[in-house]
Amino acid sequence: MSSLSGKVAIVTGSSRGIGRGIAERLGRDGASVVVTYAGNRDKAEEVVQAIAAAGSKATAIRVDVRKLEEVRSLFEQAIAQFGKVDILVNNAAGKNIFKPTTDMTEDEYNSMFDITRGVYFALQQAAHHLADGGRIVSISTSGTAMAIPAGGAYAGCKAAIEQFSAALAKELGARGVTVNTVSPGVTETDGLVLEQAQVDQLIAQTPLGRLGQPSDLADAVALLVSDDAHWITGQSIRANGGIV
């Protein structure tokens, strides 16, 4: 029997990159997966097909996590289709903006914190709807562990997610629901835009000697949502090759 057989997972922002890697891994582990996307349905359907090819059920739902009514509808649709939700992985993210504090505009700031607000209310919906013994994992960043020039707003919006999760872990512990965050380092996806010299520098700073891959984060999430991780909650786990 697959390790997540009979479980139902929602993975937000899972049409590409880290989210896709997580959704496909949970599908291979036997979970039925709700794949969410903001704009590219074709990419989301590719993920659904990959999960189906691995022998699990999946569906794609368009969700803008900045809109609370769509977050509510996501859980309602997942339960209507699969009967329950056991796992939530908050991966959806907008554009990460790095600017000195003196230069950050209100709109740029809001664009990042609007996603953070969406994560908060996705956690709220999970608290209402997740089955007892469920699993919640939110994706943060290893940038919360260091002060990065021009990264204050970005790190701040992710640090808030870590605090949301730590508090919720204590609120839901009596139900056997675990709540954790996973903090990647620099990960090689189609959204990574760096000069080769910058990539080489990052690799040199990483003890394990390479950039992260979506599969590396998927492995960490797969562990945390498994039965073997029933004693791990309220933690922020850095899956970053040791760069920090």
In the chain, where are the structural domains located?
A: 8-239
Output the pLDDT for position 17.
95
CATH architecture of 8-239: 3-Layer(aba) Sandwich (3.40)
Q: How confident is the model over 179-205, as a mean pLDDT? A: 86
Q: How far apart are CA 158 and CA 57, in angstroms?
A: 31
Determine the residue type at 113.
Answer: F
Taking 90 as the threshold, does the pLDDT of residue 148 lie above it? no
Task: Give the total residue count for the chain.
Answer: 244
Tell me, yes or no, if 154 is annotated catalytic.
yes
Q: How confident is the model at residue 193 (pLDDT cuts 50, 70, 90)?
A: low
Output the pLDDT for position 192.
74
Q: How confident is the model over 135-150, as a mean pLDDT? A: 93
Q: How confident is the model at residue 190 (pLDDT cuts 50, 70, 90)?
A: confident
User: Which of 36-50, 88-102, 133-147, 187-201 has the weakest average pLDDT?
Assistant: 187-201
Name which of 170, 81, 160, 77 is nearest 125 in CA terms: 77
Q: Strand pairing partners for 9?
A: 33, 87
Q: How far apart are CA 124 and CA 190, in angstroms?
A: 31
**CB neighbour class for 99 (10 Å; exposed up to 12, middle 13-18, buried from 19):** middle
Given the residues 37, 109, 120, 154, select the one marked as catalytic: 154
Taking 60 as the threshold, does the pLDDT of residue 1 lie above it? no
**This prediction's pTM:** 0.95
